[in-house]
Amino acid sequence: MKLVIHCCQALGVTAGLLIIILYFLASWASGDLFPFDNGGQIPWESLGRLAIPATAVFAGIVGAVIAGHGQATRLEELKNDRDANVTERYTKAIEQLGSEHPAIRAGGIYALERIGHDSERDRTMINNVLYSSLFRDSRSVDGKPGTPRDMTKWEESATIVALMRLRRRGEANRLASYLMGYIDLENADLAGAYLHGSNLRRLMLINADLSGADLSGADANGGILGFSNLSDANLINTDLKNAELLDVNLQRADLTGADLRGADLSGVDFSGAILKDAQIDESSAVTGRFSKKQLKEMRKIPAPTSSVQTAGAPSF
């Protein structure tokens, strides 16, 4: 209704301005901008000549306003339909989370994540719901997280992956206090995920898709990432000491300043990877297949004097 009132007001103002402009145009055409000052009459003849084009202009303005109103109305209807759809999907997903059947609860987890991706406005709420599902009480008490809920390992993994995928750049890692035990995330799809500063020490990320993910500053010390895809990933200053990286794809990954000491780099593909100032030691140098350029860029940390150099290892 407000939109209709505003449209009518706009038409009224436009009509008034058009009349004033027509009057001055007609007066200018007759050679006297202010005929009343000299006792003249309204220049009806000039106004008549301008009536047809003026009517066309006014009709165009009216048509544009009506079309704009119709478009605005359709957009408002689409927004209302979308909000109603999100509400319906959310209600159904919450009902699924409360089911006694694990498969149905899993469907609820995926449904909530999808809503979080589709509706940025509702993403924080979805995050809170999923995070709370990991705890009986998501609030910290005396600095300690809430008590973990009873759920299947599969549900736990699905919820953690959903929260990782819903995290946006610059947001705090709310899972930091939860990821304290070994959690199996084998085959997880975390492509493009924002995992900056995450604790990946106890995660089983075997055969996971982390292509394009941001793991800068993450702690993967001793992590298990064998056979995973980390192509184009951001691994700047990532702690990968003693990590299991068997046959990992690190093509075009940025490992600037990463710590690879003690990591198993057997079969790792470093094609196009950036390794400036990355730290390696004797053991990681033996297992890794680096180009001469990459070896020159890295910081080679000598092994302790008490250790015995492995046969075939490059000298430092």
Contact 292, 270 (CB under 8 A): no
The full set of domain ranges for the chain reads: 2-30+52-96, 183-307
pLDDT tens profile 202-258: 789 999 999 999 999 999 999 999 999 999 999 999 999 999 999 999 999 999 999
User: Where residue 153 falls among pLDDT bands split at 50, 70, 90?
Assistant: confident
Look up the CATH superfamily of 183-307: E3 ubiquitin-protein ligase SopA (2.160.20.80)
Contact 135, 148 (CB under 8 A): yes
Interhelix angle 120-134/153-166, nearest 10 degrees = 150
What is the pTM (predicted TM-score) of this model? 0.68
Q: How far apart are CA 289 and CA 271, in angstroms?
A: 9
Greater model confidence, 223 or 45: 223
Contact 53, 22 (CB under 8 A): no
pLDDT tens profile 247-284: 999 999 999 999 999 999 999 999 999 999 999 998 88
Closest CA to 93 of 173, 159, 178, 145: 159
pLDDT tens profile 283-308: 888 888 899 899 899 998 886 655 44
Query: At CA 165, angle to CA 162 and CA 167, rounded to 5?
Result: 110
Q: How far apart are CA 90 and CA 126, in angstroms?
A: 9
